[in-house]
């Protein structure tokens, strides 16, 4: 599902127009990103937890020239934790798919 489909489903469920649903999604995204930039952890009960973690600088291999080592600079990475309901849904889907085989 992409952002447009999500906005459409939200608009149908809440009986609002699609533009308002798109604005809600964009606002949620902006709020989460702003909090992560301030090194805050964002926890939405029943949905998930987001945090920004610092990845240390390291040596890496140049994918175009495997014999050449390159310096990979330190950077911030968004880390998300799956909610238990989502993890259970994945288990259910994998069990269902394996039962169909």
- Taking the C-alpha atoms of residue 52 and residue 40, their distance in angstroms, rounded to an integer, is 8
Query: In the predicted model, is pLDDT for residue 76 greater than 90?
Result: no
Average pLDDT over residues 62-75: 92
Whether the pLDDT of residue 87 is over 60: the answer is no
pLDDT in the model for residue 44 = 82
Provide CB contacts within 8 A for 20, sequence distance 6+.
11
pLDDT tens for residues 17-60?
Answer: 999 999 999 998 899 889 988 989 988 877 778 888 888 999 99
Please tell me the predicted confidence (pLDDT) of residue 95. 52
Q: Please, are residues 79 and 50 in contact by the beta-carbon 8 Å criterion?
A: yes
Neighbour tally for 57: CB within 10 Å: 11
Whether the per-residue pLDDT at 96 is higher than 50: the answer is no
């Amino acid at each position: 599902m992409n952002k447009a489909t999500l906005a459409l489903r939200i608009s149908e469920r809440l009986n609002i127009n699609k533009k308002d649903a798109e604005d809600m999604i964009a606002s949620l995204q902006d709020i989460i990103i702003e909090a992560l930039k301030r090194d805050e952890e964002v926890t939405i009960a029943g949905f998930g937890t987001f945090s920004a973690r610092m990845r240390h600088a390291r040596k890496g291999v140049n994918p175009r020239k495997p014999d050449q080592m390159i310096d990979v600079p330190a950077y911030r990475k968004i880390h998300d934790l799956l909610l238990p309901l989502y993890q259970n849904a994945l288990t259910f889907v994998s069990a269902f798919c394996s039962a169909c085989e």
